[in-house]
Structure formats: structure tokens, C-alpha cells
Copies of this chain bind each other. A is one copy, B any other.
Amino acid sequence: MSESIKYLLDESRLPRFWYNLCADLPKALPPVLHPGTHQPVGPDDLAPLFPMALIAQEVSTEREIEIPGPVRDVYRQWRPTPLYRARRLEAALQTPARIYYKYEGVSPAGSHKPNTAVAQAFYNKEAGVKKLVTETGAGQWGSSLAFAGALFGLEVQVFMVRVSYDQKPYRRALMETYGARCVASPSTETQSGRAILARNPSHSGSLGIAISEAVEVAAQRDDTKYALGSVLNHVLLHQSVIGQEAIAQLEMAGDYPDVIVGCTGGGSNFAGIVTPFLGAQLRGGRKVRIVAVEPSACPSLTRGRYAYDFGDTAHLTPLTKMHTLGSTFTPPGFHAGGLRYHGMAPLVSHLKALDLIEAVAHPQLAVFDAGVQFARAEGIVPAPEANHAVKGAIDEAIRCREEGVARTILFNLCGHGHFDMQAYIDYFAGKLTDQAYDEKELAMALAGLPAVAEAA
């Protein structure tokens, strides 16, 4: 039996800086627009929601942004995370490819999300904030912010999409164990929630609605701020520790990726592993193929429009240019709750528009087939979101076998599936289906995109 190999960096190799791809882009990101005036927003427009340090990071074009000491001290609890060469999976696939995966599931909350949760909690604490409000889908983000809040002594309130709130009581219990308060969304605690419930008292919720509720609560008090787990530049920035470590670990292995695969919901774990490699390429380094894998049932990169849209359903957020299915689009209730978002990070969307990355969509069953094959070969049960990356990597490895080419494949295993076992139960019971979105609803949602006259 050829054994899988772990590449572990010494703690002294924990990154000291977050890497900001905006410094190396061939073309700047389109501006974020005020929803009323359609003019570029300034720091003051965002100040009710975020502390100034994070707003500065949101618009920064500095290549390296120093990671504060207290954030690195917390990172050290689980970072640097391991990089594995999946030799048992390679053997099972009979592929000449070398498959590496970066494993972010070793964090206390079980995913990459604490990389930004800890940073956001730190900057909010520094700014005198007492309480953070956020939304969560499957619960990976909510539990990560709950964890970070516990460490920094911040009160945390989480609006959890109702369908997940009901289906995933264990994720909710995890948030409560960390001391956070978890509310099913739509809720009666906000105007946006009450408006939705008035129309449909049994609404199952969506990330867009939960964001509206969290933003509304955060905007009401000076000592309360909002925290977002993906999409925004500063969130993607914090995730860059993943790719930076992976570069150093592949150096240990004497290898470099020909292709990098990541799953995309809001885009943060994908950007985390991808941007340091892409930055190296843009500064004249080796070219890497980059593949974003998304669910067929919520295909923003492959079927969405690249246009200005709202981040939430109640239209409380600024307008950002992104690949979007329309802010009124509600994806079917498939199990990768973290990928059920109508939009895509503006930065990731921009990379797609610049042809720096590819995107592919896969249906749910094929994705779980891949996840179970991975679990049996490598011993780690991935989160449903991460199964998309596994599927993408396995497809690349099979292509290598068919072409007789030994490429190096790197993918991000962004989290474990310990809190998602109901999905596996359904899979084994034959209850999992390839849920399709409603084409008519998509067409309507896209038709409803705001009309924005873009600057040339």
C-alpha cells in the first residue's frame, strides 16, 4: 500500500502577511456602488457595518497586509494546516497524476472560516465593538464567528437560514456551545424578516434574507457591527494564508501545481488557495490552470450574469459587480448549504471575466459519489461543499489517466462533514437527487437585476 503523505510546516512558517491579489491584477476591480445614488461608496457609507480597519482592507491595493500578532497567536492553534499528497486516492483512481489537498478541516470549527472570523473579531474588538451579527447557511460560518467571538469576548448573534436551522440542529448546538445566540431566519426580530413572514409565514429562508436581517440589526447600534463570511475583499484576503502555506508545502514536496481546484459558493475558500498562486503567475511566474467548481443547482459562475447586483434580498447592501443569478433567486435545498448563494465574490467574478480562471458545475449525486470515494481512500469525510472540489480534482485526475499525463493537481478540502452526516445518510438511502433550479425563476431573477449605468 502506498501511503498518503503529510507536509507540515513548522509554526515559524505561519504567514506574517495576508496576500492581496488586488495589488497584482491586470485591471482594477469595478467600484462598489451606493444603492441609491449608484455612485462609488466611500468608507463612511460602510462605517455603520464594519470597523475602519476592515473597510481599509476592503479597498486596499497593498500587496501585503500584516497579520496582527493576536490573530497569528490564535491561528497557531491549528495553523499551519497540513497539506496531503493523496497517494491512496491516486492508487484507487489508477492515475499518474499527483493529487495534493490542503486540509482546512483541522480548525476548531471544522473549516477555513475561522481564518477570517478570528481576524474580524479582533478588529471589531479593537474598535470597541461589543456585538457582532451575521447570517449563516449550513452553519460553517456561524459557528466560526461564534468560536472567534468566544475567544475575544464579543457577543455573537447569528441569523441561520430556517431550512438549515431545522435540518442541522447540531450546527446550531455548536454555536450555542460557543455562547452565540442563533435565530431562525426569516425571523420576527427585524423589519425585513417580518415583511417576508407576512407574505409567507412558513418561508424556508435564504442567505440573501438572512443577510438583510443581520445588516438591519447591525446598523441600529454603534456598538454592534456586521460580519460577513465570504464574498467581500477583506474576507478573501484573510483566507490567503491557505495558498501561501500551500506554496511553501509544495516546495517541501518539490512540486508545483499544473491545476488548482476549489469549490465556490461566495468564493472565499477558493480565493484563499488560489490567489497566492495566481499572484505569482501575474508577477511573471508559472501559469496555473484554475478551476472553480460550483453546484449545478446554484451556478452563478457558469449560468449567472456578470452585472451589478445587491448582496441581499431586501436590498440593504451596496451594489457590487459580480456573477449573479439575481438577488431574488432562491436555489433548491441541496445539502451544500454554503454554496447556496445567488452571487459570487466580486474578485472571483472579476478573475472569471478576465479569463484567469475556469468554472464548471456539477450535480449533487456525482459530487457525493466523489466525496464517498475520497473518504474511503483518505479517511476524511468532507463537507458537502468540499465534495465539489473533490469531484473537480478526481475529474482532473481521471483526465490525466486517460491522456497518460502526470499532472500535479492541488485542491482545497475546505472543511469536514461531521455536522453534515444527514446528507450522507440520505445519499446511502438513495434519497439524494440532482435538484434542478427553476429556469423560469432564474429568468425572472435575472430580468429583475438593477439597471446600472456603468462607467466606461
Contact = CB atoms under 8 A, between A and B. Distances in A.
Contact of A376 (B150, B381, B422): B150
A76 B379 contact: no
A170 B170 contact: yes
B151 A379 contact: yes
Interface string A362-380: 0000000000100111011
A77 B379 contact: yes
Contacts of A5: 76
B379 A177 contact: no
B375 A178 contact: yes
B425 A150 contact: no
Interface residues of A, number: 45
A8 interface: yes
A98 interface: no
A1 interface: yes
Contacts of A381: 108, 174, 177
A106 interface: yes
A141 interface: no
A375 to B, nearest CB: 5
Contacts of A4: 77
Nearest to A147: B379
A182 B76 CA distance: 38
Interface string A66-101: 000010011011000000100010000000000000
Contacts of A109: 379
B380 A110 contact: no
Contact of A11 (B6, B70, B88, B177): B6
Given A418-B418, A425-B173, A379 B108 contact: yes
A424 interface: yes
Nearest to A84: B77
A229 B11 CA distance: 34
A186 to B, nearest CB: 23
A3 B74 contact: yes
A279 interface: no
B372 A425 contact: no
B422 A170 contact: yes
A425 B77 contact: no
Contacts of A419: 418, 421
Interface string A339-383: 000000000000000000000000000000000100111011100
A8 B425 CA distance: 36
A425 B169 contact: yes
A73 B424 CA distance: 28
Contacts of A169: 421, 425
B3 A76 contact: yes
Interface in A154-180: 169-170, 173-174, 176-179
Interface string A118-149: 00000000000000000000000000000100
A396 B377 CA distance: 42
A164 to B, nearest CB: 14
Given A6-B11, A376-B150, A421 B174 contact: yes
A419 B416 CA distance: 12
Contacts of A110: 418
B380 A108 contact: yes
A269 to B, nearest CB: 19
Contacts of A425: 169-170, 173
A88 B3 contact: no
27 contacts: A1-B152, A3-B73, A3-B74, A3-B76, A6-B11, A8-B8, A8-B11, A108-B379, A108-B381, A169-B421, A169-B425, A170-B170, A170-B418, A170-B421, A173-B422, A173-B425, A174-B381, A174-B418, A176-B424, A176-B428, A177-B372, A177-B375, A177-B421, A177-B424, A178-B375, A178-B376, A418-B419
Q: Enumerate the 6 nearest inter-chain pairs by beta-carbon distance, A residue then B residue, closest first.
A: A170-B421, A418-B418, A3-B73, A108-B379, A173-B421, A173-B425
